[in-house]
């Protein structure tokens, strides 16, 4: 069995075992200024953890009695590890991880509701779509956004021009026209997809661009069996059926460098690795916002939350550090260090600071445009657990020519069941 | 003709060896060569940068310079060697102790007049049918309640009882004549002395075969350490490799470092197998168990 699957099985079993316990009860230390030694599990690469450690060291200069040690945990295993920590009530004081982890682990009793620590400024500084995503239906905020990942349209201007396409496609129609022209000009695979390839994440973009949604505003109804969703699904499926988008994960940078691919719909984190990983690609790639659909622009936004674990002996000190990560100084450190150490693009949840990110003007402009039309993951119960089943129904439209309406009706039933 | 018939076997062996070769070659390629398209089969300009990159400075951005393997994990005393040490210590301890325990059990089940020994053996064999994932949660809860998370005993103790090893050693021990044991008893030797002095020396091939299987399983163990280790200093090599892989997701230049780590991780198991392979095949053959 694949390691990730094993970890997921273990996590599910721990959850099923209901092994949340009260653990050893020690009265929490309420002083934000310490003395406190905090362990921070940062989900991501070692380089990201090293960057966050620089921020933590700066925090210690400002708060000498609070020491924070940052430790990296890999994305593949992070969920299982944090779930284990949350259920066994032993482990780190602070964690970062997927946007939905806060609600998931918070509802299990594993994380502190940060509403008790004056989140007013952080809320004001965050895109509302993102804030809604991390707020539980009951109003609790177990983790606040730490960074953002956006969908970006990457392309090779020279290949587009050679194919007679003068500008990056702005609409669905232009996108598929460009695919046809690039194919005719000899580009083997004109369009590829990355970040949730052939799963439901890229389909979210089409859904939003078609005017659809996953749930009703109040999370009481699943709404993916709409006419807008049918249009989105048909268009999404046509990418693979008619326009040759690979269903398997591809190396976007290598493909763009070789000229095998001319356009890619992928995550913003890809941008950091293009120039270093593929030196011959330097100066040859550009970005744009995703093409729009009949309802306009739309893009899924992901990222990480950061929050304090409920069993920490220092909830206030942990919460204050979490909030400090929103300050200008902390964001500046993270922008610089994440880029310096890992070559990665750090996108703060504070969009007004995007201008200071280590990225080209073109990319910053793209991200700024994209931010105006983002949709975060829903905060409705069971959406994430529905992922594999819904993806399977969507894939059936491509693989088995299933009727989109039937597929969506089945997917809606799955999601409604998980909604409870 | 004979050689021709063996050709499929050679091809199958080649498919096993090529990934190893690719890993070893990639560990010694400089970054530009590593990301070159089409890739080179033999490193054109071999380097040890993946193990230690002299020009690496964490505070200075350089596109194609990444930290070497032994420059990583600055928060862990000893870095990657610490993970290898953890793996080595845990795998060696579990192997020695679990074989001793299993050999004692096998002796009691085959050479002693133990009441209900057939029923006990059936229970041991039946326990092999329980997927180990099922015992993960109870084991975890026990280890946590004993406050053994982040400890070597948390790694080792739950892994000591191995039903398959008991089963295998029982099969092998049955081939040792009971007369030897009876003769030793007549000479006045105690059961423990008979087990250690008479039976165990004859068990070497079987023990070697089991040692290889247990060492490999424990060296590669990922999920249990992932769950019980909450501090990097206690991580083993597979958990460390998983972390390295996370770095590569954002920067393909880390591939050489991952290959270097994979090479160092694979070497002990390869050496161990080569050293004990004769015992391994003999043990499997004599026990009468076939795959």
- The three-state (H, E, C) secondary structure of chain B, written as one string: CHHHHHHHHHHHHHHHHHHHHHHHHHHCCCHHHHCCCCCCCCCCCCCCCCCCCCCCCCCCCCCCCCCCHHHCCCCCCCCHHHHHHHHHHHHHHHHHHHHHHHHHHHHHHHHCCCCCHHHHHHHHHHHCCCCHHHHHHHHHHHHHHCCCCCCHHHHHHHHCCCHHHHHHHHHHHCCCCHHHHHHHHHCCCCHHHHHHHHHHHHCHHHHHHHHHHHHHHHHCCCHHHHHHCCCHHHCCHHHHHHHHHHHHCCCHHHHHHHHHHHHHHHHHHHHHHHHHHHHHHHHHHHHCCCC
- Please give the Cα distance from B47 to B33 (Å, whole number): 11
Q: Closest-CA residue in chain A for B31?
A: A277
Neighbours of B174 (CB within 10 A): 15
If you search the block for the tokens 């004081």, which residue do you land on? A93
Q: Taking Cα atoms as reference points, which of A390, A416, A204, A408 lies closest to residue A301?
A: A204
pLDDT at residue A3, rounded to an integer? 47
Contacts of residue B49, defined as CB under 8 A and 6 or more positions apart, other chains included, come to B30, B31, B68, B256
Q: Closest-CA residue in chain A for B143?
A: A88
pTM of the complete model: 0.80
Tell me the three state secondary structure of residue A168.
coil
Q: CB distance B140–A84 less than 8 Å?
A: yes
CA–CA distances in Å: residue B236 to residues A76, A178, B27, B270: 16, 50, 20, 18
Q: Taking Cα atoms as reference points, which of A303, A304, A345, A58 lies closest to residue B61?
A: A345
Q: CB distance B133–A6 less than 8 Å?
A: yes
A74 close to B248: Cβ distance less than 8 angstroms: no
For residue A363 the two structure tokens come to: 């990319």
- Please give the Cα distance from A251 to A270 (Å, whole number): 10
**Distance from the B253 Cα atom to the nearest Cα atom in chain A, whole angstroms:** 6
Low pLDDT (below 70) residues in chain A: 1-30, 32
| ipTM for the complex shown | 0.70
Q: Closest-CA residue in chain A for B227?
A: A81
What is the number of alpha carbons within 13 Å of residue A410 lying toward its C-beta?
A: 15
Q: Cβ contacts (< 8 Å) between A17 and chain B: which residues?
A: 137, 141
Q: Closest-CA residue in chain B for A339?
A: B61
Q: Cβ contacts (< 8 Å) between A75 and chain B: which residues?
A: 246, 249
Q: Which residues of A277-290 are buried (b: 16+ CB within 10 A; e: fewer)?
A: bbeebeebbbbbbb
pLDDT at residue A28, rounded to an integer? 63
**Distance from the B233 Cα atom to the nearest Cα atom in chain A, whole angstroms:** 11
Q: CB distance B64–A91 less than 8 Å?
A: no
Low pLDDT (below 70) residues in chain B: 1, 62-64, 248-252, 283-291
Q: Cβ contacts (< 8 Å) between A339 and chain B: which residues?
A: 61
Nearest to B243 among A74, A91, A275 (CB): A74
If you search the block for the tokens 């001319």, which residue do you land on? A262
**Distance from the A275 Cα atom to the nearest Cα atom in chain B, whole angstroms:** 8
What is the number of alpha carbons within 13 Å of residue A217 lying toward its C-beta?
A: 0
- Please give the Cα distance from A126 to A141 (Å, whole number): 13
Q: Closest-CA residue in chain A for B56?
A: A341
- Please give the Cα distance from A209 to A202 (Å, whole number): 11
Contacts of residue B57, defined as CB under 8 A and 6 or more positions apart, other chains included, come to none
**Distance from the A60 Cα atom to the nearest Cα atom in chain B, whole angstroms:** 17
Q: CB distance A10–B136 less than 8 Å?
A: yes
Which of B66, B220, B249, B257 should be substituted to probe chain A, the one whose Cβ sees the most A Cβ atoms within 10 Å? B249
For residue A303 the two structure tokens come to: 């990222």
pLDDT at residue A20, rounded to an integer? 44
**Distance from the A293 Cα atom to the nearest Cα atom in chain B, whole angstroms:** 30
pLDDT at residue A90, rounded to an integer? 82
Nearest to B35 among A85, A278, A339 (CB): A278
Q: Taking Cα atoms as reference points, which of B139, B158, B232 lies closest to residue A19?
A: B139
What is the number of alpha carbons within 13 Å of residue A300 lying toward its C-beta?
A: 22
CA–CA distances in Å: residue B26 to residues A79, B32, B44, B48: 31, 11, 11, 11
- Please give the Cα distance from A313 to A38 (Å, whole number): 9
Q: Taking Cα atoms as reference points, which of B206, B233, B202, B236 lies closest to residue B219?
A: B236
Q: CB distance B242–A92 less than 8 Å?
A: no
**Burial zone of B3 (CB within 10 Å; 0-12 exposed, 13-18 middle, 19+ buried):** exposed
Q: CB distance B226–A81 less than 8 Å?
A: yes
CA–CA distances in Å: residue A32 to residues A67, A69, A73, A91, A110: 12, 17, 26, 20, 20
Q: Cβ contacts (< 8 Å) between B232 and chain A: which residues?
A: 71
If you search the block for the tokens 């290889």, which residue do you land on? B212
Find the helix or strand (DSSP H, E) in which A333 lies: helix A328-342
- Please give the Cα distance from A225 to B133 (Å, whole number): 38
Please confirm whether the linkage preceding A392 is cis (ω < 30° from 0): no
Q: CB distance B250–A272 less than 8 Å?
A: yes
Which of A10, A250, A251 should be substituted to probe chain B, the one whose Cβ sees the most B Cβ atoms within 10 Å? A10
Q: CB distance A7–B223 less than 8 Å?
A: yes
Q: CB distance A7–B64 less than 8 Å?
A: no
Q: pLDDT, tens digit, for every residue of B254-271?
A: 888 999 999 999 988 888
Report how far Cα A227 is from the mean position of its chain's Cα atoms.
27
Query: Phi-psi region for residue A151, left (φ > 0), alpha (ψ -120 to 50) or beta?
Result: beta
Tell me the three state secondary structure of residue A293.
strand
Q: CB distance A81–B141 less than 8 Å?
A: no
Quickly list H helices, A75-127: 75-88, 101-107, 120-125
- Please give the Cα distance from B152 to B170 (Å, whole number): 29
Contacts of residue A203, defined as CB under 8 A and 6 or more positions apart, other chains included, come to A232, A233, A236, A394
Q: Closest-CA residue in chain A for B255?
A: A277
Neighbours of B253 (CB within 10 A): 23
Q: Closest-CA residue in chain B for A53?
A: B75
Quickly list H helices, A112-263: 120-125, 128-134, 157-162, 172-184, 200-210, 227-241, 252-258
Q: CB distance A17–B242 less than 8 Å?
A: no
**Distance from the A209 Cα atom to the nearest Cα atom in chain B, whole angstroms:** 28
Q: CB distance B242–A276 less than 8 Å?
A: no
For residue B58 the two structure tokens come to: 């964490």
Q: Cβ contacts (< 8 Å) between A147 and chain B: which residues?
A: none
Would you give the DSSP letter of residue A355? G
Q: Cβ contacts (< 8 Å) between A254 and chain B: which residues?
A: 35, 37
CA quadruple B9, B15, B16, B21: dihedral, nearest 10: 130
- Please give the Cα distance from A39 to A308 (Å, whole number): 10
Neighbours of A250 (CB within 10 A): 19
């Amino acid at each position: 069995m694949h390691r990730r699957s094993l970890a997921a099985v273990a996590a599910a079993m721990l959850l099923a075992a209901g092994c949340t316990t009260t653990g050893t009860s020690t009265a929490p230390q309420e002083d934000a200024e310490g003395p406190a030694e905090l362990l921070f599990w940062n989900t991501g690469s070692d380089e990201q953890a090293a960057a966050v450690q620089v921020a933590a060291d700066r925090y210690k200069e400002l708060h000498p009695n609070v020491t924070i040690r940052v430790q990296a945990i890999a994305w593949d295993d992070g969920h299982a590890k944090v779930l284990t920590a949350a259920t066994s009530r032993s482990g780190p004081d602070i964690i970062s991880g997927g946007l939905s982890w806060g609600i998931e682990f918070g509802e299990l009793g594993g994380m502190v509701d940060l509403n008790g620590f004056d989140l007013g400024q952080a809320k004001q500084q965050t895109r509302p779509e993102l804030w809604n995503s991390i707020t539980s239906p009951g109003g609790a905020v177990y983790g606040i956004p730490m960074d953002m990942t956006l969908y970006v349209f990457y392309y090779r201007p020279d290949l587009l021009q050679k194919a007679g396409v003068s500008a990056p496609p702005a609409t669905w129609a232009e996108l598929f026209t460009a695919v046809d022209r690039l194919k005719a000009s000899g580009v083997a695979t004109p369009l590829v997809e990355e970040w949730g390839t052939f799963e439901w994440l890229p389909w979210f973009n089409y859904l939003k661009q078609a005017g659809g949604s996953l749930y009703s505003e109040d999370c009481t109804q699943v709404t993916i069996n709409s006419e807008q969703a049918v249009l989105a699904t048909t268009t999404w499926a046509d990418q693979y059926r008619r326009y040759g988008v690979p269903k398997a994960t591809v190396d976007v940078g290598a493909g763009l460098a070789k000229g095998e691919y001319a356009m890619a719909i992928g995550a913003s984190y890809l941008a950091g690795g293009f120039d270093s990983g593929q030196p011959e690609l330097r100066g040859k790639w550009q970005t744009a916002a995703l093409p729009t659909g009949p309802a306009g622009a739309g893009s899924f936004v992901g990222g990480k939350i950061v929050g304090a674990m409920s069993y920490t002996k220092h909830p206030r000190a942990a919460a204050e550090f979490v909030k400090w990560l929103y300050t200008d100084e902390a964001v500046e450190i993270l922008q610089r260090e994440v880029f310096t150490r890992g070559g990665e693009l750090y996108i703060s949840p504070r969009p007004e600071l995007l201008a200071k990110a280590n990225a080209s003007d073109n990319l910053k402009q793209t991200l700024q445009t994209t931010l105006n039309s983002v949709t975060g993951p829903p905060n409705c119960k069971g959406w994430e657990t529905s992922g594999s089943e819904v993806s399977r129904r969507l894939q059936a439209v491509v693989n088995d020519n299933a009727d989109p309406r039937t597929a969506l009706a089945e997917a809606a039933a799955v999601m409604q069941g998980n909604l409870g | 003709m004979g050689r021709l018939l063996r050709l499929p076997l050679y091809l199958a062996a080649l498919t096993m060896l090529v990934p190893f070769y690719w890993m070893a070659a990639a560990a010694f390629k400089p970054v530009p060569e590593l990301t070159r398209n089409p890739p080179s089969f033999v490193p054109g300009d071999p380097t040890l940068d993946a193990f230690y990159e002299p020009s690496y400075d964490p505070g200075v951005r350089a596109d194609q310079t990444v930290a070497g393997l032994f420059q990583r994990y600055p928060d862990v005393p000893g870095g990657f060697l610490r993970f290898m040490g953890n793996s080595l210590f845990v795998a060696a301890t579990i192997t020695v102790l679990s074989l001793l325990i299993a050999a004692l059990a096998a002796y009691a089940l085959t050479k002693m007049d133990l009441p209900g020994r057939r029923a006990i053996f059936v229970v041991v064999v039946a326990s092999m049918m329980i997927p180990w994932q099922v015992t993960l949660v109870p084991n975890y809860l026990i280890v946590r309640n004993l406050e053994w998370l982040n400890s070597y005993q948390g790694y080792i103790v739950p892994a000591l009882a191995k039903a398959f090893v008991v089963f295998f050693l029982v099969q092998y021990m049955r081939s040792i004549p009971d007369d030897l044991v009876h003769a030793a008893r007549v000479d006045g030797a105690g059961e423990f002395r008979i087990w250690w002095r008479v039976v165990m020396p004859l068990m070497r091939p079987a023990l070697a075969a089991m040692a290889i299987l247990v060492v490999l399983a424990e060296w590669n163990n990922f999920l249990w350490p992932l769950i019980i280790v909450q501090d990097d200093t206690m991580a083993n090599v597979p958990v460390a490799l998983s972390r390295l892989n996370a770095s590569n997701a954002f920067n393909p230049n880390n591939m050489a470092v991952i290959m270097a780590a994979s090479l160092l991780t694979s070497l002990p198991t390869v050496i161990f197998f080569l050293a004990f392979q004769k015992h391994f095949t003999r043990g499997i053959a004599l026990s009468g168990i076939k795959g």
